[in-house]
Amino acid sequence: MIICEDLFEIFKKNDLTFFTGVPDSVFKDWMSFLADKHNKKLTNIIACNECEATAIATGYHLATGKVGVVYMQNAGLGKAVNPLTSLCDKEVYSIPLILMIGWRGEPGNKDEPQHKKMGRIMVPLLKTLEIPYAIMPDNKEKVDLIISKAKQIAVEKNQPVAIIIKKETFTKYSSRINYKQTYEMTREEAIKTILDSLSGSEAIISTTGKASRELFEYRISKHHKPHDFYTVGSMGCASSIAFGIALQIPNRKIVILDGDGAVLMQLGTLATIGHYKPKNILHLIFDNNSHESTGGQPTVSNTVDFKKIALASGYGFAKIVYTKKQVITAINKINYLKGPAMLVIKVKNGSRLDLGRPTKTPLENKTVFMKFLEHD
Protein backbone atom coordinates (compact mmCIF):
# COMPACT_ATOMS: atom_id res chain seq x y z
CA MET A 1 0.00 0.00 0.00
CA ILE A 2 1.10 3.56 -0.67
CA ILE A 3 1.77 6.14 2.05
CA CYS A 4 0.11 9.44 1.13
CA GLU A 5 3.20 11.49 1.97
CA ASP A 6 5.30 9.27 -0.28
CA LEU A 7 2.84 9.70 -3.14
CA PHE A 8 2.90 13.45 -2.77
CA GLU A 9 6.69 13.53 -2.83
CA ILE A 10 6.57 11.65 -6.13
CA PHE A 11 4.03 14.13 -7.51
CA LYS A 12 6.13 17.03 -6.25
CA LYS A 13 9.28 15.63 -7.88
CA ASN A 14 7.38 15.67 -11.15
CA ASP A 15 6.19 19.27 -10.57
CA LEU A 16 2.60 18.10 -10.04
CA THR A 17 1.30 20.14 -7.10
CA PHE A 18 -2.07 21.41 -8.35
CA PHE A 19 -5.00 19.11 -7.58
CA THR A 20 -8.71 19.55 -8.20
CA GLY A 21 -11.72 17.27 -8.46
CA VAL A 22 -14.60 15.55 -6.71
CA PRO A 23 -13.71 13.19 -3.81
CA ASP A 24 -14.09 9.44 -4.12
CA SER A 25 -14.24 6.89 -1.31
CA VAL A 26 -11.71 4.65 -3.13
CA PHE A 27 -8.97 7.12 -2.20
CA LYS A 28 -10.54 8.94 0.73
CA ASP A 29 -7.25 8.85 2.67
CA TRP A 30 -5.51 10.64 -0.20
CA MET A 31 -8.38 13.16 -0.22
CA SER A 32 -7.87 13.82 3.48
CA PHE A 33 -4.15 14.31 2.90
CA LEU A 34 -4.79 16.84 0.12
CA ALA A 35 -7.27 18.75 2.27
CA ASP A 36 -4.76 18.92 5.13
CA LYS A 37 -1.90 20.12 2.93
CA HIS A 38 -3.80 22.73 0.90
CA ASN A 39 -2.03 26.12 0.99
CA LYS A 40 1.01 24.52 2.65
CA LYS A 41 2.66 22.18 0.20
CA LEU A 42 0.09 22.07 -2.59
CA THR A 43 -3.11 23.51 -4.02
CA ASN A 44 -6.28 21.43 -3.63
CA ILE A 45 -9.54 22.71 -5.09
CA ILE A 46 -12.56 20.54 -4.26
CA ALA A 47 -14.81 21.23 -7.23
CA CYS A 48 -18.60 20.92 -7.36
CA ASN A 49 -18.49 18.55 -10.34
CA GLU A 50 -16.01 16.82 -12.62
CA CYS A 51 -16.60 19.09 -15.63
CA GLU A 52 -15.70 22.06 -13.47
CA ALA A 53 -12.57 20.33 -12.18
CA THR A 54 -11.39 19.53 -15.71
CA ALA A 55 -11.91 23.15 -16.71
CA ILE A 56 -10.08 24.41 -13.59
CA ALA A 57 -7.07 22.26 -14.46
CA THR A 58 -7.26 23.61 -18.01
CA GLY A 59 -7.14 27.16 -16.67
CA TYR A 60 -4.18 26.22 -14.49
CA HIS A 61 -2.31 24.96 -17.54
CA LEU A 62 -3.15 28.04 -19.62
CA ALA A 63 -1.86 30.32 -16.86
CA THR A 64 1.30 28.40 -15.95
CA GLY A 65 2.12 25.94 -18.72
CA LYS A 66 2.12 23.22 -16.05
CA VAL A 67 0.07 20.05 -15.68
CA GLY A 68 -2.78 19.78 -13.18
CA VAL A 69 -4.12 16.61 -11.56
CA VAL A 70 -7.89 15.97 -11.70
CA TYR A 71 -9.33 13.36 -9.33
CA MET A 72 -12.73 11.72 -9.60
CA GLN A 73 -14.69 8.51 -9.17
CA ASN A 74 -15.14 6.61 -12.43
CA ALA A 75 -18.82 7.60 -12.36
CA GLY A 76 -17.55 11.16 -12.74
CA LEU A 77 -15.60 10.16 -15.83
CA GLY A 78 -18.95 9.96 -17.60
CA LYS A 79 -19.67 13.57 -16.72
CA ALA A 80 -16.15 14.68 -17.69
CA VAL A 81 -16.37 13.15 -21.18
CA ASN A 82 -17.66 16.47 -22.54
CA PRO A 83 -14.70 18.70 -21.56
CA LEU A 84 -12.24 15.86 -22.16
CA THR A 85 -13.40 15.56 -25.78
CA SER A 86 -14.42 19.13 -26.59
CA LEU A 87 -11.85 21.09 -24.57
CA CYS A 88 -8.76 19.06 -23.66
CA ASP A 89 -8.60 16.74 -26.65
CA LYS A 90 -5.65 16.91 -29.05
CA GLU A 91 -8.02 17.92 -31.86
CA VAL A 92 -9.24 20.94 -29.89
CA TYR A 93 -7.00 22.78 -27.35
CA SER A 94 -4.65 19.87 -26.61
CA ILE A 95 -4.51 20.29 -22.83
CA PRO A 96 -2.18 18.06 -20.80
CA LEU A 97 -3.51 16.84 -17.47
CA ILE A 98 -3.38 13.80 -15.21
CA LEU A 99 -6.64 12.07 -14.30
CA MET A 100 -6.78 10.11 -11.02
CA ILE A 101 -9.82 7.85 -11.37
CA GLY A 102 -11.20 5.68 -8.56
CA TRP A 103 -12.24 2.26 -9.83
CA ARG A 104 -15.64 1.55 -8.33
CA GLY A 105 -17.36 -1.56 -9.65
CA GLU A 106 -14.11 -3.25 -10.64
CA PRO A 107 -15.03 -6.58 -12.28
CA GLY A 108 -14.61 -9.44 -9.83
CA ASN A 109 -15.04 -7.22 -6.77
CA LYS A 110 -18.35 -6.80 -4.97
CA ASP A 111 -19.81 -3.30 -5.21
CA GLU A 112 -23.12 -1.48 -5.33
CA PRO A 113 -25.32 -1.87 -8.45
CA GLN A 114 -24.89 1.74 -9.57
CA HIS A 115 -21.15 1.13 -10.03
CA LYS A 116 -21.26 -2.13 -11.99
CA LYS A 117 -21.72 -0.74 -15.49
CA MET A 118 -19.10 2.00 -15.25
CA GLY A 119 -16.72 -0.36 -13.48
CA ARG A 120 -17.01 -2.75 -16.41
CA ILE A 121 -16.75 -0.18 -19.22
CA MET A 122 -14.26 2.31 -17.72
CA VAL A 123 -11.16 0.88 -19.41
CA PRO A 124 -12.91 0.48 -22.81
CA LEU A 125 -14.22 4.05 -22.42
CA LEU A 126 -10.71 5.40 -21.85
CA LYS A 127 -9.57 3.51 -24.94
CA THR A 128 -12.45 4.99 -26.95
CA LEU A 129 -11.53 8.45 -25.68
CA GLU A 130 -7.93 7.71 -26.77
CA ILE A 131 -6.67 8.54 -23.28
CA PRO A 132 -3.58 6.53 -22.27
CA TYR A 133 -3.97 4.93 -18.85
CA ALA A 134 -2.17 2.90 -16.22
CA ILE A 135 -3.28 1.25 -13.00
CA MET A 136 -1.50 2.60 -9.93
CA PRO A 137 0.64 -0.17 -8.41
CA ASP A 138 0.97 -0.83 -4.70
CA ASN A 139 4.61 0.00 -4.10
CA LYS A 140 6.53 3.27 -4.09
CA GLU A 141 9.12 2.46 -6.74
CA LYS A 142 6.56 1.37 -9.33
CA VAL A 143 4.33 4.35 -8.53
CA ASP A 144 7.30 6.63 -9.21
CA LEU A 145 7.69 5.11 -12.66
CA ILE A 146 3.95 5.28 -13.45
CA ILE A 147 3.58 8.95 -12.50
CA SER A 148 6.79 10.00 -14.25
CA LYS A 149 5.64 8.20 -17.42
CA ALA A 150 2.14 9.71 -17.21
CA LYS A 151 3.61 13.21 -16.87
CA GLN A 152 5.96 12.58 -19.79
CA ILE A 153 3.14 11.45 -22.09
CA ALA A 154 0.87 14.30 -21.02
CA VAL A 155 3.55 16.90 -21.78
CA GLU A 156 4.99 15.38 -24.96
CA LYS A 157 1.59 14.66 -26.54
CA ASN A 158 -0.28 17.57 -24.90
CA GLN A 159 -3.23 15.44 -23.81
CA PRO A 160 -4.94 13.93 -20.77
CA VAL A 161 -3.49 10.75 -19.26
CA ALA A 162 -5.32 8.60 -16.69
CA ILE A 163 -4.09 6.78 -13.59
CA ILE A 164 -6.63 4.27 -12.27
CA ILE A 165 -6.83 3.80 -8.50
CA LYS A 166 -8.11 0.53 -7.03
CA LYS A 167 -9.56 0.10 -3.56
CA GLU A 168 -7.10 -0.22 -0.67
CA THR A 169 -4.25 1.39 -2.57
CA PHE A 170 -3.41 3.87 0.20
CA THR A 171 -2.50 3.37 3.82
CA LYS A 172 -4.72 4.97 6.45
CA TYR A 173 -4.33 8.72 6.83
CA SER A 174 -5.81 10.52 9.83
CA SER A 175 -6.77 14.08 9.07
CA ARG A 176 -5.44 16.76 11.40
CA ILE A 177 -8.35 19.06 10.60
CA ASN A 178 -11.53 18.81 12.63
CA TYR A 179 -14.48 18.97 10.25
CA LYS A 180 -17.07 18.17 12.90
CA GLN A 181 -20.10 20.45 13.00
CA THR A 182 -21.62 21.56 16.27
CA TYR A 183 -25.26 21.68 15.22
CA GLU A 184 -27.96 20.00 17.32
CA MET A 185 -28.99 17.19 14.96
CA THR A 186 -27.32 14.57 12.85
CA ARG A 187 -28.76 14.07 9.38
CA GLU A 188 -30.39 10.82 10.51
CA GLU A 189 -32.11 12.58 13.42
CA ALA A 190 -33.33 15.27 11.06
CA ILE A 191 -34.72 12.67 8.64
CA LYS A 192 -36.63 10.98 11.46
CA THR A 193 -38.03 14.32 12.61
CA ILE A 194 -39.14 15.16 9.07
CA LEU A 195 -40.84 11.80 8.44
CA ASP A 196 -42.66 12.07 11.75
CA SER A 197 -43.88 15.55 10.72
CA LEU A 198 -45.22 14.52 7.29
CA SER A 199 -48.62 12.98 6.60
CA GLY A 200 -47.24 9.87 4.90
CA SER A 201 -48.90 10.53 1.55
CA GLU A 202 -45.91 12.45 0.19
CA ALA A 203 -43.68 11.00 -2.51
CA ILE A 204 -40.08 11.19 -1.25
CA ILE A 205 -37.04 11.22 -3.51
CA SER A 206 -33.75 10.95 -1.60
CA THR A 207 -30.28 11.83 -2.78
CA THR A 208 -27.20 9.70 -3.38
CA GLY A 209 -25.29 8.53 -0.33
CA LYS A 210 -26.12 8.02 3.30
CA ALA A 211 -29.36 10.03 3.35
CA SER A 212 -31.06 7.31 1.28
CA ARG A 213 -29.64 4.60 3.52
CA GLU A 214 -30.89 6.37 6.66
CA LEU A 215 -34.32 6.92 5.13
CA PHE A 216 -34.62 3.25 4.21
CA GLU A 217 -33.55 2.06 7.65
CA TYR A 218 -36.02 4.34 9.41
CA ARG A 219 -38.84 2.98 7.27
CA ILE A 220 -37.83 -0.56 8.24
CA SER A 221 -37.51 0.33 11.93
CA LYS A 222 -41.08 1.68 11.92
CA HIS A 223 -42.28 -1.48 10.15
CA HIS A 224 -43.28 0.55 7.11
CA LYS A 225 -42.94 -0.84 3.62
CA PRO A 226 -40.32 1.41 1.98
CA HIS A 227 -41.97 3.20 -0.93
CA ASP A 228 -39.56 6.09 -1.50
CA PHE A 229 -37.26 6.58 -4.49
CA TYR A 230 -33.60 6.13 -3.51
CA THR A 231 -31.27 7.86 -5.97
CA VAL A 232 -28.37 5.48 -5.40
CA GLY A 233 -26.27 6.88 -8.27
CA SER A 234 -26.33 10.00 -10.49
CA MET A 235 -25.28 12.37 -7.72
CA GLY A 236 -27.08 15.71 -7.85
CA CYS A 237 -30.03 14.44 -9.89
CA ALA A 238 -32.58 13.72 -7.12
CA SER A 239 -34.14 17.19 -7.40
CA SER A 240 -34.50 16.87 -11.19
CA ILE A 241 -36.16 13.48 -10.82
CA ALA A 242 -38.54 15.00 -8.28
CA PHE A 243 -39.24 17.96 -10.56
CA GLY A 244 -40.19 15.62 -13.40
CA ILE A 245 -42.59 13.77 -11.09
CA ALA A 246 -44.06 16.97 -9.63
CA LEU A 247 -45.08 18.27 -13.06
CA GLN A 248 -47.03 15.10 -13.80
CA ILE A 249 -48.65 14.63 -10.37
CA PRO A 250 -49.45 18.18 -9.25
CA ASN A 251 -51.87 17.15 -6.50
CA ARG A 252 -49.34 15.16 -4.47
CA LYS A 253 -46.63 16.70 -2.30
CA ILE A 254 -43.19 15.78 -3.66
CA VAL A 255 -40.42 15.89 -1.04
CA ILE A 256 -36.72 15.97 -1.94
CA LEU A 257 -34.17 14.85 0.64
CA ASP A 258 -30.99 16.43 -0.68
CA GLY A 259 -27.40 17.09 0.42
CA ASP A 260 -25.23 20.18 0.13
CA GLY A 261 -22.66 18.47 -2.10
CA ALA A 262 -25.35 17.06 -4.40
CA VAL A 263 -27.11 20.43 -4.74
CA LEU A 264 -23.84 22.18 -5.53
CA MET A 265 -23.05 19.59 -8.18
CA GLN A 266 -26.23 20.44 -10.13
CA LEU A 267 -26.97 23.94 -8.84
CA GLY A 268 -28.71 24.98 -12.06
CA THR A 269 -31.62 22.70 -11.16
CA LEU A 270 -32.74 25.29 -8.59
CA ALA A 271 -33.18 27.79 -11.41
CA THR A 272 -35.24 25.31 -13.44
CA ILE A 273 -37.51 24.48 -10.50
CA GLY A 274 -37.84 28.15 -9.60
CA HIS A 275 -38.71 29.11 -13.16
CA TYR A 276 -41.46 26.53 -13.67
CA LYS A 277 -42.70 26.85 -10.07
CA PRO A 278 -44.28 23.46 -9.32
CA LYS A 279 -46.42 24.22 -6.28
CA ASN A 280 -46.06 20.75 -4.78
CA ILE A 281 -42.29 20.58 -4.27
CA LEU A 282 -40.71 20.66 -0.81
CA HIS A 283 -36.94 20.71 -1.19
CA LEU A 284 -35.03 19.75 1.97
CA ILE A 285 -31.24 20.20 2.00
CA PHE A 286 -29.20 18.57 4.76
CA ASP A 287 -26.16 20.82 4.96
CA ASN A 288 -23.21 19.36 6.86
CA ASN A 289 -20.55 21.08 4.74
CA SER A 290 -19.04 17.75 3.73
CA HIS A 291 -18.90 14.94 1.20
CA GLU A 292 -19.91 12.46 3.88
CA SER A 293 -19.98 9.26 1.82
CA THR A 294 -16.43 9.70 0.53
CA GLY A 295 -14.77 10.40 3.86
CA GLY A 296 -16.12 13.75 5.02
CA GLN A 297 -14.06 16.07 2.82
CA PRO A 298 -15.43 19.63 2.97
CA THR A 299 -17.76 21.10 0.38
CA VAL A 300 -17.96 24.85 -0.28
CA SER A 301 -21.42 25.12 1.28
CA ASN A 302 -20.05 27.16 4.18
CA THR A 303 -19.72 30.09 1.75
CA VAL A 304 -23.06 29.47 0.02
CA ASP A 305 -26.46 30.78 1.08
CA PHE A 306 -28.90 28.23 -0.36
CA LYS A 307 -31.83 30.23 0.99
CA LYS A 308 -30.92 33.35 -0.99
CA ILE A 309 -30.15 31.31 -4.10
CA ALA A 310 -33.53 29.56 -3.90
CA LEU A 311 -35.46 32.79 -3.46
CA ALA A 312 -33.49 34.48 -6.25
CA SER A 313 -34.21 31.46 -8.48
CA GLY A 314 -37.97 31.73 -7.99
CA TYR A 315 -38.75 29.49 -5.01
CA GLY A 316 -41.74 30.85 -3.13
CA PHE A 317 -40.36 30.10 0.33
CA ALA A 318 -36.96 29.28 1.80
CA LYS A 319 -35.69 29.06 5.36
CA ILE A 320 -32.60 27.88 7.23
CA VAL A 321 -33.17 25.86 10.41
CA TYR A 322 -30.83 24.50 13.06
CA THR A 323 -32.91 22.57 15.60
CA LYS A 324 -35.51 19.83 15.73
CA LYS A 325 -38.12 22.31 17.00
CA GLN A 326 -37.40 24.67 14.10
CA VAL A 327 -37.74 21.79 11.61
CA ILE A 328 -41.17 20.81 12.96
CA THR A 329 -42.41 24.41 13.01
CA ALA A 330 -41.16 25.09 9.49
CA ILE A 331 -42.72 21.96 7.98
CA ASN A 332 -46.05 22.70 9.62
CA LYS A 333 -45.93 26.17 8.09
CA ILE A 334 -44.89 24.92 4.65
CA ASN A 335 -47.88 22.56 4.57
CA TYR A 336 -50.07 25.64 4.16
CA LEU A 337 -47.88 27.34 1.54
CA LYS A 338 -47.65 26.94 -2.21
CA GLY A 339 -44.26 25.78 -3.37
CA PRO A 340 -41.70 25.34 -4.52
CA ALA A 341 -40.40 25.63 -0.97
CA MET A 342 -36.97 24.97 0.47
CA LEU A 343 -35.78 24.12 3.94
CA VAL A 344 -32.02 24.16 4.57
CA ILE A 345 -31.30 22.03 7.62
CA LYS A 346 -27.91 22.52 9.24
CA VAL A 347 -26.73 19.17 10.60
CA LYS A 348 -23.65 17.59 12.12
CA ASN A 349 -21.56 15.37 9.87
CA GLY A 350 -21.05 11.74 10.75
CA SER A 351 -23.23 8.64 10.68
CA ARG A 352 -23.70 5.33 12.43
CA LEU A 353 -20.94 2.79 11.84
CA ASP A 354 -23.57 0.05 11.49
CA LEU A 355 -25.63 1.93 8.91
CA GLY A 356 -26.99 -0.54 6.38
CA ARG A 357 -28.05 -0.22 2.76
CA PRO A 358 -31.39 -0.72 1.01
CA THR A 359 -32.09 -4.43 0.72
CA LYS A 360 -34.14 -4.01 -2.45
CA THR A 361 -32.56 -3.74 -5.89
CA PRO A 362 -32.95 -0.46 -7.79
CA LEU A 363 -35.42 -2.18 -10.13
CA GLU A 364 -37.50 -3.43 -7.18
CA ASN A 365 -37.37 0.08 -5.68
CA LYS A 366 -38.58 1.59 -8.96
CA THR A 367 -41.49 -0.86 -9.21
CA VAL A 368 -42.71 -0.23 -5.66
CA PHE A 369 -42.34 3.54 -6.05
CA MET A 370 -44.31 3.63 -9.30
CA LYS A 371 -47.12 1.61 -7.72
CA PHE A 372 -47.17 4.10 -4.84
CA LEU A 373 -47.56 6.95 -7.33
CA GLU A 374 -50.45 5.16 -9.07
CA HIS A 375 -52.74 6.00 -6.15
CA ASP A 376 -53.10 9.45 -7.71
| 267-280 tens-digit pLDDT | 999 999 999 999 99
Per the CB < 8 A criterion, the answer to whether 232 and 180 are in contact is no
Q: For 174, how many CA atoms within 13 A lie in the half-sphere containing its CB?
A: 0
Residue 44: its pLDDT value, please?
96
Integer Cα distance of 233 and 229 in angstroms:
12
Residue 93: its pLDDT value, please?
98
The secondary structure element, H or E, covering residue 264 is: helix 260-265
CA-closest candidate to residue 274, choices 306, 228, 320: 306
Residue 177: its pLDDT value, please?
67
> Between these two residues, 318 and 222, which has the higher pLDDT value?
318
pLDDT over threshold 90, residue 179: no
Mean pLDDT value across the chain: 93
Average pLDDT in the 56-81 region? 97
Residue 19: its pLDDT value, please?
98
| 233-279 tens-digit pLDDT | 899 999 999 999 999 999 999 999 999 999 999 999 999 999 999 99
Map out the domains of the chain with their CATH numbers: 4-165 (3.40.50.970), 187-373 (3.40.50.970)
Per the CB < 8 A criterion, the answer to whether 50 and 75 are in contact is no
Residue 360: its pLDDT value, please?
86
pLDDT over threshold 80, residue 294: no
| 309-335 tens-digit pLDDT | 999 999 999 999 999 999 999 999 998
Residue 178: its pLDDT value, please?
67
pLDDT over threshold 90, residue 180: no
